[in-house]
């Protein structure tokens, strides 16, 4: 599908290209999952060489950022499915010429969907300003995603660090899953920010005909990207800290469970050991004749240490609760 945007009285006006011609007054042509015939139509109408989908996925900078025939070709990585728990990356190509911006994409990023709803009231009346507006919307979405990750990390931190310890219903395995999800999104945000910063540097240096408004807005977006990159680095460090803390709590809980199991085993085995030692010489449960003191000695040795140990443990737990 090919959508052409032309300037109107208040902003941009959407026109779907259904025939064999593209409006000459269009300043933005959005190509969405185009067919081979539509690709030939764009190339013949605008005299451009459209990159293939395989070329858009190249990693080398020379394949993603270059000039050709008076136009600047820039391929960026945008995030899709950002409303879900598993966002994905998709390549989007920007072809910026003096009179028109062509975008080639095979998915629906949030920034494109949002900007097309704002375009009717947008003040962008040139191809350069449309390009900058799309990048501003993209960076705005990345900032929102980073804020959501920070809020989730704050909830996790309050959940696992409590003055009186973890509540009984805290699922540390679920906490690990949330931290992994936050780390995945944070990594994709940082990767996208680096990609947009490189794209802005190249676009500013490759095009020498930027208007003063365009250059000032590019610098503002680059400053925002720098600030968000620093915040993303801080967020990555916080995720690593919370991950180490959660693993430490899991190890501590395992150690506590092993300690309890050891105490239970001692409580069961010690009376059995003492009774087995005295069983050959003392009639149980009570001697019928003779002295009774061996029987009471057996009981004292079997259950006396357990009672003393229980009293000591109870006092230690009471002291911990007081502090």
Number of domains in the chain: 2
Residue 108 is assigned to a structural domain of this protein:
yes
Q: Same structural domain for residues 283 and 246?
A: no
pLDDT in tens, 13-42: 878 777 677 777 888 888 888 888 888 888
* Cα Rg, the chain, nearest whole Å: 35
pLDDT surpasses 70 at 50: yes
Residue 230 is assigned to a structural domain of this protein:
yes
pLDDT surpasses 60 at 317: yes
Strand partners, 78: 90
Residue 212 is predicted with a pLDDT of 77
CATH number at residue 151: 3.30.460.20
Measured CA to CA, the distance from residue 55 to residue 36 in angstroms comes to: 15
Q: Same structural domain for residues 296 and 241?
A: no
User: And the tokens for 127?
Assistant: 């191809």
**Boundary residue ending a domain (234, 252, 270):** 252
Residue 258 is predicted with a pLDDT of 85
Residue 267 is assigned to a structural domain of this protein:
no
Neighbours of 1 (CB within 10 A): 12
Q: Same structural domain for residues 114 and 220?
A: yes
Measured CA to CA, the distance from residue 269 to residue 264 in angstroms comes to: 9
Q: Same structural domain for residues 180 and 53?
A: yes
Measured CA to CA, the distance from residue 225 to residue 219 in angstroms comes to: 10
Residue 272 is assigned to a structural domain of this protein:
no
Q: Same structural domain for residues 122 and 245?
A: yes
CA angle (228 as vertex; 80, 137 as ends), nearest 5: 45
Residue 261 is assigned to a structural domain of this protein:
no
Residue 270 is assigned to a structural domain of this protein:
no
Residue 16 is predicted with a pLDDT of 76
Measured CA to CA, the distance from residue 255 to residue 245 in angstroms comes to: 15
Q: Same structural domain for residues 316 and 223?
A: no
Exposed, middle or buried by CB within 10 Å (0-12, 13-18, 19+), for 131?
A: buried
H helices, E strands: number in the chain? 8, 7
| pTM more than 0.85 | no
User: And the tokens for 59?
Assistant: 């990693």
Residue 207 is predicted with a pLDDT of 62
**Boundary residue ending a domain (216, 235, 252):** 252
Do 93 and 51 touch, CB atoms closer than 8 A? yes
Neighbours of 59 (CB within 10 A): 6
Contacts of 200 (CB under 8 A, 6+ apart): 135, 218, 221, 222, 225
Q: Same structural domain for residues 171 and 213?
A: yes
Q: Same structural domain for residues 102 and 242?
A: yes
Q: Same structural domain for residues 111 and 149?
A: yes
pLDDT surpasses 70 at 168: no
Q: Same structural domain for residues 243 and 303?
A: no
Domain that holds residue 284: 279-322
Q: Same structural domain for residues 247 and 305?
A: no
Q: How far is CA 75 from CA 7, 32, 117, in A?
A: 25, 15, 23
Contacts of 49 (CB under 8 A, 6+ apart): 43, 68, 69
pLDDT in tens, 261-292: 887 787 777 777 777 776 666 665 555 566 66
Residue 103 is assigned to a structural domain of this protein:
yes
Q: Same structural domain for residues 87 and 124?
A: yes
Residue 225 is assigned to a structural domain of this protein:
yes
């Amino acid at each position: 599908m090919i959508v052409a945007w032309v300037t109107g009285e208040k902003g941009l006006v959407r026109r779907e290209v259904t025939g064999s011609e593209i409006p000459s007054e269009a300043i933005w042509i959005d190509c969405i999952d185009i067919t081979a015939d539509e690709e030939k139509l764009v190339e013949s109408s605008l005299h451009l060489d459209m990159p293939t989908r395989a070329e858009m996925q190249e990693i080398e900078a020379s394949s993603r950022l270059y000039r050709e025939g008076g136009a600047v070709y820039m391929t960026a990585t945008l995030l899709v499915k950002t409303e879900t728990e598993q966002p994905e990356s998709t390549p989007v190509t920007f072809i910026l010429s003096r009179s028109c911006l062509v975008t080639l994409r095979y998915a629906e990023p949030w920034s494109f969907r949002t900007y097309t709803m704002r375009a009717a009231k947008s003040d962008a009346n040139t191809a350069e300003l449309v390009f900058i507006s799309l990048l501003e919307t993209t960076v705005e979405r990345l900032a929102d995603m980073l804020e959501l990750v920070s809020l989730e990390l704050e909830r996790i931190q309050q959940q696992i660090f409590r003055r009186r310890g973890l509540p009984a219903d805290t699922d540390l395995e679920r906490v690990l899953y949330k931290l992994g999800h936050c780390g995945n999104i944070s990594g994709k945000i940082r990767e996208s920010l680096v990609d947009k910063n490189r794209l802005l540097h190249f676009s500013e240096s490759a095009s020498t005909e930027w208007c003063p408004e365009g250059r000032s807005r590019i610098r503002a977006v680059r400053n925002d990207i720098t600030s968000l990159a620093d915040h993303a680095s801080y967020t990555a460090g916080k995720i690593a800290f919370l991950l180490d803390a959660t693993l430490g709590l899991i190890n501590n809980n395992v150690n506590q469970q092993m300690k309890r199991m050891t105490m239970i085993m001692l409580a069961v085995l010690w009376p059995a050991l003492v009774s087995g030692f005295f069983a050959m010489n003392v009639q149980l449960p009570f001697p019928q004749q003779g002295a009774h003191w061996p029987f009471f000695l057996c009981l004292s040795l079997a259950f006396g240490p357990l009672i003393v140990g229980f009293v000591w443990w109870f006092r230690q737990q009471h002291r911990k609760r007081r502090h």
